[in-house]
Structure 1
Amino acid sequence: MYYMHVYHSINITHLFFCTMQVFFSNELKTNTSIGQTNLKEIISRSQCRKEIFFSFELVCCKNDDKKFYKKLFSEIKDCLPLFYSLTWHNRPCLNDNYFASLETLPEFPKNTLFHLAARGLKQNIVLKILNRVLELDINLFIIRGDGNSHDGDFNYAINLIKFIKEQYNEKFCIGVAGYPNQHPESLSKEADLHYLKAKVEAGASFIITQIILESSSFINFVKDCRNYGINVPIIPLIMPILSYESFIKMTKICSLTGPQSLYNDLISLKDNTKAIQQYGIQLAINIVEDIISNHCSSIFHLCTLNNITVAVELCERISNLIAHKKMIHPLNSK
């Protein structure tokens, strides 16, 4: 079992975050080609320098609570996220031009990745959405979406990517999803790689995977992508486990599979939420350590489900680890 007690090393963590603050500030200052935060350049440079960074996936609140977001960003700022992402939430109102996640965007920093699901959207609606996103200097994460609607103009993510490139050229930096354990509707892993490469060739600059439950699935996925000629940065999505119930719900929603030992451990702890969370944090730490050791990624996207307390603790624990094991290089190293 991965469970272990929480520990803190304040001085090491503080030094790590201060170093990252200098680097992150320089990244924003030197970028000028696409808006104020070109994630393509920021991600590529951080990967080349082997610096370890976190980014955070946040869920759109149904009530668009500005106070909530203000508190959230205040609590998370010391982790110095390379970027945030905001999940897609289409909540029809009195007219079909209303999207809750789009209304939430002004509360977010510039280094934000806006999820946009292709399925069910019409071209004229997409143009309205993108014009608003462009005003905010926000980047895009294009997914197909899980709905069954066939009324839209885009059946697949690649159709929407091509449309965006045709209409806006290089004004947007675009990320897309990757599936290390094979998309549930795919015929094979090779078919997955074929369509993923097509999305990259259509204009995607980086890939964020489905939630990773074991390091080997991501490590093998990166190797397969490289062998297939997919050479853009690939970022693993890590989910701190908040409770047994939420974990099972997410595995069903996202069609996730993991080792049986993981499910056995969680079942034995399911009535102890705190123990579940500490188990999940240590599991995430082990996954991150393996990925770093195999040189597969230096950026880790955290699926927070808006539980910032657990996400911040995970960041602190990982930064302690990589500082202690000298798994990052100081900015002034040769």
Structure 2
Amino acid sequence: MSTSQKFSLELFPPRTPEGAAKLPATLKQLAATGPEFFSVTYGALGSDQNGTYETLMTVVRETGVEAAPHLTCIGSTRMHIAALLNQYRDAGVKRIVALRGDLPATAYSPAAPGEFHFANELVAFIRESHGDHFRIEVAAYPEMHPQADNISADFAHFKRKVEAGADAAITQLFYNADAYFSFRERCVKAGISAAIVPGIMPITGYQNILRFTANCGADLPRWIRLRLEELQDDKPALLDFGTEVVARLCETLIKGGVPSLHFYTINQADPTLRLCSALGIGRR
């Protein structure tokens, strides 16, 4: 694989003092691979909004790499989002990941509580208030959002986000390359020119990957699940198998002409470093 392949990395704000203490060393290891940017997530119900800013500034301070904060609709007011955008712009941020956000477990409506109900409204507000200053990324679901009524309704919602002004999309995790290519083909047929960047989740454990895929509605192919189940008590073998599976997926995507790869790091350096090494991408 070519070392020129673009990629980016996702982090979440540390939830414990121990996690915060480990973050600078993890960042330096990850930054050494040469990512295009880091994205920093925003907690459910906005619980990590302060942590997002602090983590973003830690990324910039420790690595000098561009950082993109996530913004969500959950519980947000126009005034609050406006203040955050100004704060990020003043900090030199030029890229935003705009999302609806995870709804609370008690929610019965697909709309987020607050003044922004859907991500397309948030995208439109960013464009109205800041023009083209920010590059805006949104979410895409090659296998359908788990709360969507059907796949056509889900795609129509994605199209509204692009029409509102999104520049690119980062997909939810998946382990079936055909799901990505089918979604991208549908975008082309619908006249959507925004870049569709595949989101890549390393496999590091049996139970956690079952949980991740169940929560986001992603398919975990049966042959992968059965092999992981068999290897769950042999950590080195499971890691080797997981790296092989995800690297093969990435190779297929790269050969298929993806614009970039977006790795979900879960604030760990080793899984992503293993994948970069297997793929021959990044600095070495």
> How many residues align structurally?
270
Q: How far off its partner does 1:67 sit?
A: 4.5
Letter in 1 for 2:7: F
Partner of 1:140: 96
Distance 1:287-1:98 versus aligned 2 partners, 3 A rule:
closer
CA contact (8 A) 2:45 2:102 kept: no
Partner of 2:143: 181
Distance in 1, Cα, partners of 2:191 & 2:156: 10
Q: Given the alignment, which residue of 229, 242, 250 partners 1:267?
A: 229
So what's the TM-score if we normalise by structure 1? 0.75
Distance in 2, Cα, partners of 1:256 & 1:70: 31
Q: 1:232-271: per-residue Cα shift (whole Å, max 9, x none)?
A: 1111011111111211221233222222112111111111
Structure-to-structure mapping, 1:1-334, within 5 angstroms = 51-63=4-16, 67-89=21-43, 99-109=50-60, 110-138=65-93, 139-148=95-104, 151-295=113-257, 297-319=258-280
Q: How far off its partner does 1:293 sit?
A: 2.0
- Which range moves more in the overlay, 179-188 or 84-93? 84-93
Gaps of 5+ in 1: 1-12, 18-50, 323-334
- 1:105 partner SS: helix
Distance in 2, Cα, partners of 1:69 & 1:135: 24
Distance 1:99-1:248 versus aligned 2 partners, 3 A rule:
same
Distance in 1, Cα, partners of 2:143 & 2:214: 14
- 1:175 partner SS: strand
Distance in 2, Cα, partners of 1:92 & 1:238: 24
CA contact (8 A) 1:55 1:300 kept: yes
RMSD: 2.3
Distance 1:77-1:311 versus aligned 2 partners, 3 A rule:
same
Percent identity, aligned pairs only?
27
Q: How far off its partner does 1:73 sit?
A: 2.2
